[in-house]
Chain A
Amino acid sequence: MTQLVQNLVDGLGQGSIYALLALGLTLVFGVMHLVNFAHGELITVSAYVAYALASWGAGWGVIAIAMIVTSILTAVAIEFLAFRWVRGASEFTMLLTSFGVHFVVAALFVMYVSPRPRNIPKPEWIFATVRIAGITFEVFDLVTIAVTLVTLVATERVLRRTMFGIALRAAAEDFDAARIMGVRSNLVIRGAFALSGVLAGVAGVFWLMRTGTASPTAGLTPLLFGVIAAIVGGLGSLGGAILGGLALGLIQVFFRSWLPSDLAGLTEGLLFVLIALLFIVRPQGFVTVRRAERA
């Protein structure tokens, strides 16, 4: 029982990070029909900024804010430099464009920093535990879950209460109709990228605290889980992306705790098998976006 609750919280903590990434991916997909495999670069770039700040002795508070700002700027820059040119292109072209961005960013870090990972000291408190009702929890998990919740609520507010959010949701549903209403394409597309940058920035802070390394491919693993969560959640469905992320975190943690120790290294591999099976059974994801079809 205790083990179960601990795993549950651990899984939700892990899944929170995926949920934030998946939500950003799904927002961008909504307005551009792009599955952005360069989304991980937001984490990569901000991880290096964190490394630079940490080596100058900055505290994690400063680092966290700088990471989020970097992530937003990176998202907007990538849109401006690459994705702007392939709006409306085929899925094939957009997918490969995003992979191209990934490879270029990774290679630039190899060129200008180092191919080897850089370590960033993890904050002390992430190793702390707390006992609640006789069960030991990691403080880090609890903080991750709490901050994610706050971020999600804030995102929800932006999407429901601001004109930008309403326009974004309108454009995700029917881009042309939104244009007819006077919504500017640039506004919603760049806005979606910026918002996805905020979410990836928050996710990146926790990811970095956990891993403690900045490397040219630091964003790859979180990206893959984010993409998978977004697709499992039915690409384009905001709630689905969040559920997909949490589910993925839970599955990962439970796999790790149930698998015999000599197979534990295969957690990710088995997860991929599971994911592949999911796509085979339900390629459209598990949350189907409700849409009245047109005659």
Chain B
Amino acid sequence: MLSVDGLTTNYGSIAAVRDVSIHVDAGEIVGLIGPNGAGKSTLLNTTVGLLRPTTGRVIVEGRDVTGSSPDTMLRLGVALVPERRRLFADLTVQENLLVAGITVSAGERQRRLEEVVELFPLLGRRRDFPAGYLSGGEAQQLAIGRALMSGARLLLMDEPTLGLAPALVDLVFELVVDLRSQGRTLLVVEQNAGRLLEVADRAYLMRTGSIVTEGTGHDLRSRHDLFEVYLGVEA
């Protein structure tokens, strides 16, 4: 569904991503783990066209879409749930959802809005609330709801559990599994590697801009030296 081929992105003068290749097949949950500063967010941001890669290609369903703008990527069915959610705090919950549906027709937008509200009843009750007043869990639901508004089939989630209480972390992972069972594909970036590996089919481990290792979620999880590999300390 998505493949990233030899991607390098310079962020200012920092080469945040160096020659990274990954692929995500339809219906998979793929994890991307690694410490802070590894370049995970940069990789996602480059994939959806927020940043321009220096070299490399981004391919969605066989089409080379390198350098396309985020709205083009959304039309192709690839949506990003950004780090720290980036809700529009002054906009209401409903407005947050509507703006995320800007790439689809008005009728479609209304239909999706109802779908999302059905999926997250909590949001339905807070429709006319400014998003700035939502609690952490509600905020994350809204962030994911926004990504669904575009009708995306591939969701790129950047640290969806950041700053959430443990109970809410569970909720997010349940949601990830739910979304997959509805036929969506997910690429999830997490620091919370342990939990992610429980639900991921496959995962990549990134450190200092490169993929260090990859494997099935189960394989990586059972590696006793994961912590050391993760943080770059020799066992």
Contact = CB atoms under 8 A, between A and B. Distances in A.
| Chain A partners chain B | yes
B175 interface: no
Interface residues of B, number: 28
A167 B102 CA distance: 8
B98 A163 contact: yes
Interface in B73-107: 74-75, 80, 82, 84, 86-91, 95-96, 98-100, 102-103, 106
A182 B100 contact: yes
B50 A182 contact: no
Contacts of B86: 174, 176-177, 180
B88 A177 contact: yes
A169 B84 CA distance: 19
A246 B234 CA distance: 67
B27 interface: no
B146 interface: yes
Interface residues of A, number: 21
A163 B48 CA distance: 22
B98 A179 contact: no
Contact of A180 (B82, B91, B96, B106): B82
A281 interface: no
A31 B153 CA distance: 30
Contacts of B138: none
Q: Which of A163, A170, A174, A176 has the most CB of B within 10 A?
A: A170
A179 B50 contact: yes
29 contacts: A163-B98, A163-B99, A163-B106, A166-B91, A166-B95, A166-B99, A167-B102, A169-B91, A169-B95, A170-B88, A170-B95, A170-B96, A173-B88, A173-B91, A177-B82, A179-B50, A180-B50, A180-B80, A180-B82, A180-B86, A181-B70, A181-B99, A182-B70, A182-B75, A182-B103, A183-B99, A184-B71, A290-B132, A295-B163
Given A167-B99, A170-B96, A173-B89, 9 more contacts: A163-B98, A166-B91, A169-B90, A170-B88, A173-B88, A173-B91, A182-B70, A182-B74, A290-B90
Interface of A: 163, 166-167, 169-170, 173-174, 176-184, 290-292, 294-295
